[in-house]
């Protein structure tokens, strides 16, 4: 039982995988003894070549008793899909030559100490049917967050090199490791770890007895916690940094829905590759599909477009799970009770969905399409704090964002679609005002290009941006990042949520705290 052993097993045993569309919920939870029997069965599935290779109940109990936060499972639809086990040790233990048996105290885990400064990975595995959903990354991300929370200097473990036996007569383990780093040799374990920001420290000899494929060698891998501080009595708080990925979408004709969603997945993949927490799409980015119905009146064509909405939302939910990113879908037309609405969905990476509505439809939307304004306004909880979403024209009504701010919103997302620079300027300037008056971040994303074969959607003008409040901790002009005007691209920006807390308490002006509630109030019906 060795950290990352599953990735080797995965190469040898392919099974039927879980379809993302069958996932109702993904939950990261602490391991309990009540989970043991299911955990044992999961381990036996993960380590099929070694059916007797599983942790005994007394060993799991010891780990839970000693370090409950270090033992976590991922559950999909309330079924254990994977597990990560860890202990805390002193750094001097890993500096010295050691074996797996040494570091675990002959599997008693008496090497664990609360006063240690390094998180040591004991085991990670994913059940075969759940592989390919990037669950391993989620477990490692949890370990990193735990490491930061506990102010540990890093994460360390011994990684097997199961492909080494093919080269052991040609080179030393160190030469093998160096060639893997240079991409001259493919090693599934090392490549995965390096891609997750781990770096090799040295080669360990005789690490795991009986590991013939690795020649009983292992590579000591480490992840450094850049936020580590030597323990002190001074109070400190951890900053929360959220990475936003904005998609400035090029309008172009697509032959069908599948081709359009391929383009959407390309962008999700791109922003996910930069470890973004959110992907924001523009309003009505799927409008090119109306070209097939251009012979119909505009009001009928938009209702034909609405027939694709359910399938698009389902696909986005699958992408959110698969790419481990929260997706704000922009908006689409949707029929509800025979009425036409402009709606979008928040597809969380845990598999849950939230619906939001455009409350104020433009005169053109009402006149040409017969679109109705929605009635639902709320802030949404996410794993990166509370967010609000307003579609285009809604951002021009300050009451909405103020109500969201009162609900605890930290980031406001505004997907928009504007045809002229005049329309864009209204959205842009209002969005920036919302950032100042509500002491929040505002991200706007729009579409660019032309659609000559779609009535009422001929031209688009956009410049996607991320706005901040205007105070000393933020850019003087209140612009965190901005895209190139009328050019298809993605925009990546980091926003520090803790800066908003400091602004609220210590800003040179305090727009939220200084409101005169004694002479006016704002409430939601």
Q: Is-catalytic flag, 347?
A: no
Among 154, 156, 275, CA closest to 225:
154
- Shared domain check, 249 and 200: no
Per-residue burial over 209-246, b if 16 or more Cβ lie within 10 Å, else e, is eebeebbbbbbbbbbebeeeeeeeeeeeeeeeebbbbb
Q: Do residues 31 and 124 share a domain?
A: yes
Query: Are 364 and 316 in the same domain?
Result: yes
Asked if residue 231 is part of any domain, the answer here is: no
Please check whether residue 131 is in contact with residue 17, taking contact to mean a CB–CB distance below 8 angstroms.
Answer: yes
CATH number of the domain bearing residue 143: 3.40.630.30
pLDDT reported for residue 21: 81
Domain end call among 164, 190, 224: 224
Instruction: Find the domain containing 345 and state its range.
Output: 241-506
195 in a structural domain: yes
Which tens digit of pLDDT belongs to each residue from 249-291? 999 999 899 999 999 999 999 999 999 999 999 999 999 999 8
Question: Do 173 and 313 belong to one domain?
Answer: no
Backbone φ, ψ for residue 451 (5° rounding)? -135, 75
In a domain, 522, yes or no: no
Q: Does residue 283 sit in the same domain as residue 379?
A: yes
> Domain end: 224, 258, 291, which one?
224
Task: Check residue 351 and give left, alpha or beta (phi > 0: left; psi -120 to 50: alpha).
Answer: left
Residues 218 and 256 in one domain: no
- pLDDT in single tens digits along all 525 residues of the chain: 555 444 444 444 445 677 888 888 999 999 999 999 999 988 888 877 666 778 999 999 999 999 999 999 999 999 999 999 999 999 888 877 899 899 999 999 999 999 999 999 999 888 888 888 888 889 999 999 999 899 999 999 988 887 888 898 899 988 988 888 888 988 877 888 888 888 888 888 888 877 787 888 888 999 988 778 776 554 444 447 999 999 999 999 998 999 999 999 999 999 999 999 999 999 999 999 998 888 899 999 999 999 999 999 999 999 999 999 999 999 999 999 999 999 999 999 999 999 999 999 999 999 999 999 999 999 999 999 999 999 999 999 999 999 999 999 999 999 999 999 999 999 999 999 999 999 999 999 999 998 888 877 778 999 999 999 999 999 999 999 999 999 999 999 999 998 998 888 788 888 888 888 889 888 888
Q: Let me know: does 376 contact 356? Beta carbons within 8 Å.
A: yes
Residue 87 lies in a domain: yes
CATH of the domain at 448: 3.60.110.10
Q: For 387, how many CA atoms within 13 A lie in the half-sphere containing its CB? A: 28
Q: How far apart are CA 234 and CA 254, in angstroms?
A: 58
Residue 513 in any domain: the answer is no
Number of structural domains the chain divides into: 2
Q: Are 149 and 247 members of one domain?
A: no
In a shared domain, residues 200 and 262:
no
| Catalytic annotation, pick one of 45, 83, 222, 283 | 283
Give yes or no for a contact between 373 and 361, defined as CB atoms under 8 angstroms apart.
yes
Catalytic-residue membership of 358: yes
Q: Return the pLDDT at 409.
A: 96
Regarding whether 448 and 303 lie in a shared domain, the answer is yes
Query: 114-129, pLDDT tens digit by residue?
Result: 999 999 999 988 888 8
Q: Are residues 281 and 321 in the same domain?
A: yes
14 & 121 share domain = yes
* 224-to-30, 181, 199 alpha-carbon distances in Å: 24, 18, 9
pTM > 0.85: no
Measured distance CA(411)–CA(398) in Å, rounded: 15
145 assigned to active site? no
79 falls within a domain: yes
**Residue 389 maps to a domain:** yes
147, 392, 430, 440: which is the annotated catalytic residue? 392
Answer yes or no: is 35 within a domain: yes
> Are 110 and 25 contained in the same domain?
yes
Neighbours of 447 (CB within 10 A): 30
Give the integer Cα–Cα distance in Å for 360 and 397. Answer: 9
pLDDT score at 52: 73
């Amino acid at each position: 039982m060795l950290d990352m052993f599953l990735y080797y097993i995965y190469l040898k045993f392919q099974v039927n995988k879980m379809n993302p569309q069958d996932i109702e919920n993904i939950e990261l939870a602490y391991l309990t003894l009540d989970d043991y029997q299911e955990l044992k069965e999961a381990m036996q599935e993960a380590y099929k070549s070694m059916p007797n290779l599983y942790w005994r109940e007394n060993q799991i109990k010891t780990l839970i008793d000693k370090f409950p936060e270090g033992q976590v499972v991922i559950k999909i639809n309330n079924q254990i899909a994977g597990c990560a086990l860890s202990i805390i040790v002193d750094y001097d233990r890993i500096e010295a030559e050691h074996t797996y048996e040494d570091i675990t105290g002959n599997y008693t885990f008496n090497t664990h100490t609360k006063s240690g400064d390094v998180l040591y990975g004991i085991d990670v595995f994913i059940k075969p049917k759940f592989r390919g959903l990037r669950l391993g990354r989620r477990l490692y991300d949890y370990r990193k967050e735990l490491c930061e929370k506990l102010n540990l200097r890093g994460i360390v473990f011994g990684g097997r090199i199961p492909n080494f036996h093919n080269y052991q007569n040609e080179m030393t383990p160190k030469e093998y490791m160096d060639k893997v780093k240079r991409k001259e040799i493919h090693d599934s374990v090392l490549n995965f770890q390096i891609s997750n920001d781990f770096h090799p420290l040295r080669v360990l000899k005789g690490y795991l007895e009986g590991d013939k494929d690795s020649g009983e060698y292992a590579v000591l891998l480490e992840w450094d916690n850049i936020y580590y501080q030597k323990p002190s009595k001074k109070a400190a708080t951890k900053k929360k940094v959220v990475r936003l990925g904005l998609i400035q979408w090029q309008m172009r004709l697509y032959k069908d829905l599948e081709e359009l969603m391929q383009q959407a997945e390309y962008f999700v993949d791109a922003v996910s590759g930069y470890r973004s927490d959110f992907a924001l799409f523009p309003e009505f980015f799927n409008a090119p599909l109306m070209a097939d119905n251009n012979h119909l009146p505009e009001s009928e064509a938009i209702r034909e477009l609405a027939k694709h909405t359910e399938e698009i939302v389902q696909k986005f939910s699958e992408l959110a799970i698969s790419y481990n990113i929260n997706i704000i879908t922009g908006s689409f037309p949707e029929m509800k009770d025979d009425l036409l609405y402009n709606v979008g969905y928040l597809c969380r990476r845990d598999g849950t969905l939230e619906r939001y509505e455009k409350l104020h439809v433009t005169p053109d939307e009402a006149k040409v399409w017969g679109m109705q304004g929605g009635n639902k306004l709320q802030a949404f909880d996410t794993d990166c704090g509370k967010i609000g979403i307003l579609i285009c024209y809604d951002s021009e009504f300050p009451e909405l964002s103020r109500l969201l701010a009162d609900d605890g919103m930290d980031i406001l997302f505004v997907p928009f679609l504007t045809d002229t620079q005049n329309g864009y300027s209204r959205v842009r300037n209002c969005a920036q005002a919302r950032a100042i008056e509500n002491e929040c971040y505002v991200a706007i994303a729009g579409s660019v290009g032309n659609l000559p074969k779609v009535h009422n959607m001929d031209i688009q003008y956009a410049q996607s941006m991320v706005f901040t409040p205007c105070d000393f901790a933020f850019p003087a002009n209140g612009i965190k990042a901005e895209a190139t005007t009328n050019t298809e691209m993605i925009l990546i920006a980091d926003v520090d949520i803790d800066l908003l807390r400091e602004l609220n308490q210590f800003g040179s002006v305090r727009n939220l705290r200084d409101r005169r509630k004694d002479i006016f109030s704002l409430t939601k019906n």
